[in-house]
Structure 1
């Protein structure tokens, strides 16, 4: 009798600690994808800034699974955005391959960290990344076009790509929140070209990260397909709008959006608190 009761108690504790495997409402996932697509096209990011909070807070997806699924969902959105930026000649094809060398390597490292780090730590890294990007964008920056690439600037682009890819794999974001400000601030690239170049780098990054996440069972491909597919149309529209927005206005809009996203994620820290002990 005592042994049976103990066994039932252990099962109850295990079931309470285990994340829910119930698939979210696909209508909600589609709406999240639409919002993410518009963000991806307008600001040159993969859309993970919207997909991750949307899946966690609205669709109630477990955080690690949400991050991995988000990275997969950014692929169709990035491809749709890229088509618009390419059509307008807003991609720097000399910079994109150098950054991609680093991002595809970093994406694998980031997905490994996703399986190791506590959820609370992942959330805090996400918030800090978003806030740092927003603050930097609020500071005025002259961007008149980049200088000719040198060996040192090429190495710097690869290193930046490595760091960005690691964050992408860990946080489920395409990496545009890091790449766009870096290209504008450090290399003087015009924002719309920085956005187009960022989207070009996001494509291989999301492919590599998703393959790694799938091997770690940290991605729901059906949810990713719905979110990414629904974001394709809005991504194209966002890319067209981005071509006509002044750099100052675009940076301001992006910064305030990032501040809002950071605020929503701060609210999740309490629910992730138990992961500090469990890991």
Structure 2
């Protein structure tokens, strides 16, 4: 890899890390279409390479969110345990799928999720409470579904978890993003391992992305805490649409 390529990957990591910190998703959702469109990687290779950046970003972002908004340990543990098991099983299936089918399915998922969040943005929401609206063991169902999604597409578990935690369980946006990071940590780790064992990771590209992400993700977390919650949700919807468009163009 030339010094120019190394610098470009580092700069891209800086951008993706900021986005990941802002929305509590580790940056992988935008990294996958960026790697496909800008560098011509196929879907599995783009997903595996993005995970090299996502895993350390999630670790740092989780620490930062927990510093500002204390994460309930039993909620985080249940989400992460169920997510880990389902992500592992889904990732074993994902590495054998056709890349084009995976990409278009992910585009459809992002569009539906963006529309859902946009509708919720203009609907009356129940007041946010420190107590969950539903018994906390139901978080295991969410953890399993989000983990399976993350294992299938490399990322995406947090994108499902955040709106469900806010709209169904009544958590605040920042609390939801912190819990989604706790869910993502073990599931992205085991998914990266599975992709690496099947040669779907470009380490030379992924490591500079990871360094850039680690340097910038704290900026995104700081910005997330400075923005009004409704603005943050609106930006999240726009971000989902952007990712869908980039993936469709790949």
- In structure 1, which of residues 85, 93, 97 is the aligned counterpart of residue 73 of structure 2? 93
Of 112, 116, 121, the match for 2:92: 112
C-alpha distance in 1 between matches for 2:54 and 2:150: 11
Q: Which has the larger radius of gyration?
A: 1
CA distance in structure 2 between the aligned counterparts of 1:86 and 1:71, rounded to whole angstroms: 22
Contact 2:48 2:201 in 1 (8 A): yes
Q: In structure 1, what is the equivalent of residue 30 of structure 2?
A: 50
Listed as ranges, the gaps of 5+ residues in structure 2 are none
**Counterpart residue number, 1:265:** 247
Give the CA RMSD over aligned residues. 2.0
Paired residues, number: 243
Aligned counterparts of 2:70 and 2:236: Cα–Cα separation in 1: 18
2:228 aligns to what? 246
Q: Which has the higher contact order (CA 8 A, sep 6+)?
A: 2
- Of the three residues 204, 207, 217, the one matched with 2:199 is 217
1:145 alignment partner, SS class: coil
Aligned residue runs from structure 1 range 63-102, under 5 A = 63-102=43-82
TM-score by length of 2: 0.89
Aligned to 1:132: 112
User: What TM-score do you get using the length of structure 1 for normalisation?
Assistant: 0.81
**Cα distance change of structure 1 residues 79 and 143 upon mapping to structure 2, 3 Å threshold:** farther
Aligned-residue offset at 1:147: 2.9
Deviates more, 1:252-261 or 1:208-217: 208-217
Where does residue 129 of structure 2 map in the other structure?
A: 145
Aligned 8 A contact 1:134 1:255 in 2: yes
How many Å apart are 1:143 and its aligned residue? 4.8
Q: How does 1:152-231 map to 2 (within 5 A)?
A: 153-154=136-137, 156-173=138-155, 175-231=157-213
